[in-house]
A and B are shown apart, each in its own frame.
Chain A
Amino acid sequence: MSNFKDNNLEIILEEGAKNILSWYGKSEARDPSSLLIPYFKEILNKIKGKELIIKFEQLKYMNSSTVPPIIQLIKDLEDSGIDSTITYDKNSKWQLASFKALDTIVRAMKHITVVGV
């Protein structure tokens, strides 16, 4: 399994020289952790040894319960030494607020970068 689909949320993993994990739609499940953490654990082994880009630009909405599994993923990527770039839409006010905050707290990490595009 490389992709994830639940209601309006879709996450697609494109494997290549750089792996790309793109988020689409809306993340509004009652308990996103129970769905996303097992998925992230599963793909973590696949993407080891290569750079990862996580693209949030096409994500229209996420509830605050989606933040803990994203944080868990970031921690796992850092611990696994996977160089990862998180991109967001800097012209979307909600994305700018959410990801600038995330950027501030990942700055001390060696392998994670957050960029507005």
Chain B
Amino acid sequence: MNNHEVQISLSITPTWTILKEVQKKIEDFMNKKRFSTELIEASIMCASELVENAIKYGSAGTDQDNIKFDLKTENGRIVIKVSNGVKDERDFLNVKERVDKLKKSKNPAELYMERLKELMESPKPGESQLGLYRIAYEGEFKLDYTFQGVLLTVIAERGYS
């Protein structure tokens, strides 16, 4: 690992309070390595949204009780991976649908805006279903996933200068 590289690997108990710890670790590590405020904020947002999803929809009741979190910077790329056991296949299909839409889209802002319009027309308290679109639009990350057995891994990646 050269001087500018960062690697964080965590096995996380799926509780809401752990989010602050994850955010703090990312901020400290990336600040030490003098990454830009914009990249640090985008990485914290991306990690938070993915870990929130993993806590909300994953883990309990599967063999994969803990959430696995990895953040790595290398050769001008930052890669964030969050893995969790999935209780209900519909939760995986929901992620798949959104990530597949993003992969096909040239403009994630349009998908984000479309979802905002849906919320405006029919506001539903609770889940926003905006997180993945936000990671792509606001954070400029490309998203992908793998699904093996009950283990869902969402991968977010972007470049930096």
Contacts and interface: CB of A to CB of B under 8 A. Distances in A.
Interface of A: 28, 30-31, 33-34, 37, 61, 63-65, 67-69, 71-72, 74-75, 93-94, 97-98, 101-102, 104-106
Main secondary structure of the interface of A (DSSP, over half): helix
A28 B16 CA distance: 9
Given A28-B19, A94-B41, A105-B117, A68 B138 contact: no
Contacts of A69: 125
Given A30-B16, A101-B112, A102-B116, A63 B48 contact: yes
A67 B126 contact: no
B41 A93 contact: yes
B137 interface: yes
B1 interface: no
Contacts of A33: 125-126
Interface of B: 16, 19-20, 38, 41-42, 44-45, 48-49, 52, 55-56, 109, 112-113, 116-117, 119-120, 123-128, 130-131, 134, 137-138
B128 A67 contact: yes
Contact of A94 (B45, B119, B131): B45
A33 B20 CA distance: 20
A102 B109 CA distance: 11
B52 A94 contact: no
Contact of A75 (B48, B120, B138): B120
A64 B116 contact: no
A97 B38 CA distance: 12
Contact of B109 (A93, A101, A106): A101
A105 B126 contact: no
B134 A64 contact: yes
Given A94-B138, A105-B120, A34 B48 contact: no
A104 B113 contact: yes
Contacts of A102: 116
Contacts of B19: 28
Contacts of B113: 101, 104-105
A15 B52 CA distance: 35
